[in-house]
Chains A and B, each alone.
Chain A
Amino acid sequence: MSDPTDDDRPAWVRAWDDMVALVGTDLSDGQTRWGADVVEAGSIRRYAEPLELGSAIHHDEDAARADGHDGLVAPATSLLTFALPPMWRPGEPPLFDAEDRDAQPARSPINNENNGPVPRTAGFFATDLEMDFLRPVLAGERLGLRGRRLVACTPKETRVGRGAFMTIESEIVSDRGDVVARQRTSTYAYDPHLDGEATA
């Protein structure tokens, strides 16, 4: 084992060592995290509106059936949305407890909490995504997310800051009992460069 005093890597790189050691393991508790709502015509319509996604299979059940589908079809790319849990449930503490203009909610289902020993960072964004769609999802189903296998964790300094790229694999499951999609999502969690700090 090397002498830790010989480790001349920057502290911000060493801060990711515990997470890097978990590559290949499932960071989840094994439970399915169910989406907030059943897939239904109204939420499909709202998803389609900003995209101007006009195919009748997303808007008209009769037309969808005439085209060979078993009901109103959710857009394939909407599965991530339908697998998201609610922002807030009755009985939970407030989300909004500050009046500052840019104050953030106390919690969000979209976050960089990876259930692992990651350093706290100020920012994150998604960088890569791959999905396999195993079958179309129809109105009336409820979706959930299962598993969070850490595929990669690579510390890196970029033009926006210092942090690490992480890739997580998960399954999207239906309340009908099957896996409807598999996804691999990569994110970059980072602390922005301070003013005047050199960028790589």
Chain B
Amino acid sequence: MKAVRTIADVRVGDELDPVAFPLTVYRLIMAAGANRDFNSIHHNSEHARATGAPEMYANTIFLMGMWERAVRDWAGPAGELTAIRGFRMRRFNTVGRTTTVHGAVTAVDAATGLVTIALRSEDPDGITVGPGEVDVRLPGAGAAG
């Protein structure tokens, strides 16, 4: 993790370090308790199966938080998230698997400090969320090249 990343440090094509999230029952319950999405589909296998899902699965806020974690680790403490787009949950992120977030810079605006990052979440079978985008504003606007 870079301590403070500025807009001058960033180029289109830069890749974020992938972040892996092993999804255990323990973790899903911690997430549900913390983000207060207590829907039983996120912590009760039998209930999840009764609704047509293969297993209990990570909730929306937890999945969004995974994207924030990947971007925050990359951007450092001075970055400011300004938007999430294309956050489409294509498949369930089920317990007993690992969801990994991947990202790469697709646009850099040196004048405003705004960086657009393409993100996707994957499990061993492919994309589960996205591909979508996060905009993050970095310091140093107007000073870069």
Please give the residue numbers on chain A whose beta carbons come within 8 Å of chain B beta carbons, in ascending order.
36, 43, 46-47, 49-57, 63-64, 67-68, 75-78, 80-81, 84, 87, 101-102, 104-105, 108, 110, 122-123, 125-133, 136, 159-161, 190, 192-193
Contact = CB atoms under 8 A, between A and B. Distances in A.
Contact of B85 (A54, A56, A130): A130
A111 to B, nearest CB: 8
B86 interface: yes
Contact of A78 (B46, B60, B65, B67): B65
Interface in B39-70: 39-41, 44, 46-47, 50-53, 60-62, 64-69
Given A49-B34, A110-B38, A131-B83, A75 B51 contact: no
Interface stretch (B10-18, B72-80, B102-110, B111-119): B72-80
B27 interface: yes
Interface of B: 4, 21, 27, 30-31, 33-41, 44, 46-47, 50-53, 60-62, 64-69, 72-73, 76-78, 80-89, 139
Contact of A77 (B33, B65, B73): B65
A42 B113 CA distance: 31
A103 to B, nearest CB: 10
B123 to A, nearest CB: 17
